[in-house]
């Protein structure tokens, strides 16, 4: 029970931090150089987020799949 809560909380925390990074990079680019720079920085930040957070999202997805397989085999 607690482990499932931790996985859900961790997944939500990762997603929220990724959104915050994307929005902050867009706003920084918007304030420094306009819409084009804002979109460019947001795309660059997205690529960096995928590189750094991608492995954690894959681990969370594997955890969810293993739990669903475990639930199917218990019935």
- Tens of pLDDT, residue by residue over 18-67, are 999 999 999 999 999 899 999 999 999 999 999 999 999 898 889 889 98
User: What is the spatial distance between Cα 36 and Cα 55, in angstroms, rounded to a whole number?
Assistant: 29
- Tell me, what's the pLDDT at 11? 84
Tally the domains of the chain. Answer: 1
With b for 16 or more beta-carbon neighbours within 10 A and e for fewer, the 16-55 pattern comes to: eebeebbeebbeebbeeeeeeebeebbeebeeebeeeeee
**Domain limits at 50?**
2-74
Tokens of 36: 């084009």
- The 8 Å CB, 24+ separation contacts for 24-27 are none
């Amino acid at each position: 029970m607690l482990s499932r809560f931790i996985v859900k909380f961790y997944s939500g925390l990762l997603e929220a931090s990724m959104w915050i990074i994307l929005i902050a990079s867009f706003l920084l680019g918007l304030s420094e150089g306009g819409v084009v720079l804002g979109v460019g920085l947001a795309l660059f930040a997205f690529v960096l987020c995928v590189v750094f957070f991608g492995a954690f999202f894959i681990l969370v997805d594997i955890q969810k799949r293993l739990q669903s397989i475990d639930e199917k085999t218990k019935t």
